[in-house]
Amino acid sequence: MARIVIALGGNALQANPKDTTAEAQLVTARETSGAIVDLIEEGHEVIVAHGNGPQVGQLIATYEAAASINENSPIMPFPECGAMSQGYIGYHLQQSIRAEMRKRGINKEVATVVTQVIVDPNDEGFKNPTKPVGSFFTEQQAKKLMTEKGYIMKEDSNRGWRRVVASPLPMAIVEEPIIKTLVEAGHVVITVGGGGIPVIDTGNGTLEGVPAVIDKDFASCKIAELLNADALVVLTAVEQVAINFGRPDQKNLSSITVKEAKTYIEEGHFAPGSMLPKIKAALSFVEAKEGRKAIITSLEKAREAIGGTAGTVIIN
């Protein structure tokens, strides 16, 4: 038995990017739950983390659209949108995982913890926000939002202007004691959804939400470290990590060391907005303690990857 943190990628929540309805997501969550419960059935302790990019973007766009029709309609603050997305994605996952466990006679409970993650207000990410969120606007609309709301807006590939927010690194997880208690009691926990709600410590025990996006892979690494997990499993759209990706000389990797992975990073093999954060999170987890391993693979191959017959394993 191992303690495993599973970081679900977007394809595990929305199989069809053109169908972003809640109904479609619930169907995908039910399909995803099978792979998760496979590991639970084998006796592993499983903690689930997930992304929320499409979902939080949809929530923000909905409020922005309402405000464009009625100026008295308030735009929901970004941290609150993150919390809302954690709630409804967690609801879909916990309902689906529970049903799958009951079908197999597994008597465990599953719960979502709406998770706050402390970030450093002086993080370099706040100095140069780059993460686009929400709707597209005209230049005139963008300038109005910058003046009235204090947003940072940038032109996005000639498609219009969008709000951009920072992507700081996670420092600590506020609900860590609660999560540990639930895990130690044998429950299945869903946490750090979308990377967690970014908050800063303003002193005197007060936390304040900030408009930012924490990379879910780095947040998954943080919770895996805090829970002293044996493995971090990052599920994505491909079965294995590859170098020379998309080229005739593409080479899939079944196992790489930390040293090899760092060399591949220096050589520019991993795309910044895709595989690179997954590799960096995996390295951070593996390097922190001897005996740990990180696995990057597809949802369909998760069980085999844990058994060592699929995916890419990263070891020290």
Instruction: Catalogue the active-site residues.
Output: 10-11, 131, 216, 278
The C-alpha atoms of residue 141 and residue 161 are separated, in whole angstroms, by: 9
Task: For residue 50, give Cα distances in angstroms to 13, 168, 178, 196, 222.
Answer: 8, 17, 18, 9, 13
Return the residue matching tokens 């450093």.
Answer: 120
* b (16+ CB within 10 A) / e for 229-258: bbbbbbbbebbbbbbeeeeeeeeebeebeb
**HEC profile for 134-169?**
EEEECHHHHHHHHHHHCCCEEECCCCCEEEEEECCC
Q: Which residues pair with 241 in a beta bridge?
A: 253
Cβ-based neighbour number of residue 261 at 10 Å:
23
The C-alpha atoms of residue 127 and residue 17 are separated, in whole angstroms, by: 31
What residue type is 55 in one-letter code? Q
Helix, strand, coil content of the chain in percent (nearest 5): 45, 25, 35
Cβ-based neighbour number of residue 74 at 10 Å:
10
Cβ-based neighbour number of residue 97 at 10 Å:
26
Alpha-helix runs per DSSP H in 121-255: 124-127, 139-149, 176-184, 216-226
What secondary structure does DSSP assign to 94-119, as a single string?
HHHHHHHHHHTT----EEE---EEE-
Task: For residue 297, give Cα distances in angstroms to 9, 145, 252, 277, 311.
Answer: 10, 41, 11, 14, 4
Q: Which residues pair with 50 in a beta bridge?
A: 8
